[in-house]
Each structure stands twice: as C-alpha cells, then as structure tokens.
Amino acid sequence: KQEVTQIPAALSVPEGENLVLNCSFTDSAIYNLQWFRQDPGKGLTSLLLIQSSQREQTSGRLNASLDKSSGRSTLYIAASQPGDSATYLCAVLHRSSSGNTGKLIFGQGTTLQVKP
Amino acid sequence: DAGVIQSPRHEVTEMGQEVTLRCKPISGHDYLFWYRQTMMRGLELLIYFNNNVPIDDSGMPEDRFSAKMPNASFSTLKIQPSEPRDSAVYFCASSLIYHYGYTFGSGTRLTVV
C-alpha cells in the first residue's frame, strides 16, 4: 500500500531564509509526484509536477527534486517571504498493478509560517 | 478558463438530510476526481471518472455516498442520509490525462449538525 509522509508537520522560519520540505513514499511504482500549496480555507494550487523519469523541476524560487529509487522528494524554497506561508502538500500518482490507472495519494502536509 | 467550479462553497445541513455537491470540470478534461479532506485523515480519494464512467469507487466510505457524471461537464456527489461525521471539505479535481497534473476546485465545506 502506498503511503506518503511529509516531514516536518510544521515549520516556522524568518523571512529570507532558504528552506527544504521533505516528502517520502513507500512504493516507487509512481507516474509522477506533484507539490501543491493550500492556503487556509482554500483549494489546492499546483506548484510543480515531476514525472517519474525526471529528477527535478523549477519554477521561480521553487525547486523540487525526485529520487524515485529511494522514495524521496524535496521542495526547496529560496529566499522565503511571508506570502509563502501556507500548507504544502506532496502527492504521488501511484501506478496500479494493472499499469493503466492511478491514484493521487497525498501526504498530510507541512504547514509553513514565514515571519517578517 | 474558469477552472474547476464547485458549488455550493459552504453547506450546513441537519443530520439525516440529503446533501448534493456539484462540480463542473475544466472543459476537455477526461478525468474527474472527488476528494474529501479532514484534519484526521487528510485528503482521501473517494471516486474518479474517466469519460463520464466511474473507474474506481473504492474510496467511497459507505452506501450513503453516491456519485454521478451524467455528462462531460457536470458531476454530483450525494450523501443520503448525512451524518455529523461526514463534515469535511469536499474537493473536485479534473485532469486532461490522469498522469498529468490535476486542477482542483475551491472545495465545498460541509457541516452536518
């Protein structure tokens, strides 16, 4: 059974700091891994998607890496800002045993607070 | 594109009542997903459709829950009868191809009292 774990559950940093959020998954049979952002009371916004054949993706101050063999992904946020405060969710699209469908399985998230 | 549209945004109902949540996926997306989010269990997949056909409903918690997709632009999730433990945020998402990215709606916050 695929399980996704995110560490830490919460993180508080001063503005300007570089930070890393961690995600691990138990089964390497994945199509891709996706990082989302969720603001309080809001929906999910997709940040980065890494296909299983890729190692990393970058968007602005965000960089996500994927090591499928070890079941790990990291989200790196450079020069953090108070506006980055939100919950960050990691999700893997798990490949079914038949290989032709998948389920997006989420971690519990890391709640980030960036202090001015 | 208006994105994935869910209605209502908030729903408060009494235990035992029927609740219907609605979703309009992004035009052209072949896949539609219903998720439930709670503090205890996080985000859980309830059911998903491909070309309006239910593919996997193993996440639907009980027979009280049902979902339909009568056409490519509309889906409903119904709970009948509702119970307080159904209180959660229900999200709808759609995807062009399931192993590409998902786009989520803003969610419906359901409170059953």
Percentage of the residues of chain A whose pLDDT score is greater than 70: 96
d(CA A34, CA A107) in angstroms, rounded, equals 11
**Of B77, B15, B80, whose CA–CA distance to B49 is shortest?**
B77
Residue A94, pLDDT > 90, answer: no
**A86, two tokens:** 């939100």
Identify the residue among B4, B104, B106, B109 best suited for mutation to test binding to A, counting A beta carbons within 10 A and taking the highest: B104
Interface contact flag, B104 A106, Cβ < 8 Å: no
pLDDT in tens, B48-96: 999 999 998 999 988 999 999 999 999 999 999 999 999 999 999 999 8
How many angstroms separate the Cα of B101 from the Cα of each of A36, A86, A92, B49?
10, 20, 11, 16
CB contact set of A51 (below 8 Å; sequence gap of 6+): A31, A32, B99
Instruction: For residue range B95-108, list pLDDT tens digits in order.
Output: 987 677 889 999 99
Of residues B34 and A30, more confidence is placed in B34
Whether A49 has its CB under 8 Å from any CB of chain B: the answer is yes
- Both tokens of B62, joined, read 């009980």
- Could A104 and B33 be called an inter-chain contact, meaning their C-beta atoms sit closer than 8 Å? yes
Band (B11; pLDDT cuts 50, 70, 90)? very high
Nearest residue in chain B measured CA to CA from A40: B106
Enumerate residues 6+ apart whose C-beta is below 8 A from B79: B18, B19, B64, B65, B86, B110
Q: Do B99 and A106 touch (CB under 8 A)?
A: no
> Residue A46: phi, psi to the nearest 5?
-70, 130
* Whole-number percent of chain A with pLDDT over 90: 81
